[in-house]
Amino acid sequence: MNSSIFQLKMLGLDNSVNANINEHILNSMAKGGIEIAPNGCHGGGCGVCKIKILKGDVETLCMSEKHISPVEREQGFVLACRAYPKTDIEFEFIGKVKCKKTKDKKFGLV
């Protein structure tokens, strides 16, 4: 395996997906079929892609303290759109879960 390709494993899922060292974790998640986060800003401003790194190392770009406090950062919390894998990663998704549109006349959902 190429040393610039790592595995991402989300807590609660059986499968892992490939992650490129030059691509942030959020893009790698989406390309691998883990489309749990809504389409946010991809720049660290909205905070919907918050994850907690359980195993592995990442390199991060600047993240707003509004979404990731210094204490959270020390505990392994990052924004997936601002984090790049340096090793295989196991993580827990903490951010806002994407809503799936459902047609249900009883509840008026579209």
Domain boundaries, the chain: 5-93
Q: Look up residue 80 and give its two tokens.
A: 């997936």
Whose CA is closest to 29, among 66, 68, 79? 79
pLDDT of residue 16: 94
Listed range (23-27, 43-47, 90-94) with the worst mean pLDDT: 43-47
pLDDT of residue 95: 87
pLDDT of residue 31: 92
The pTM assigned to this predicted structure is 0.83
pLDDT of residue 28: 95
pLDDT of residue 69: 95
Choices 3.40.640.10, 3.10.20.30, 3.90.1150.10, 3.40.50.150: CATH for 5-93: 3.10.20.30
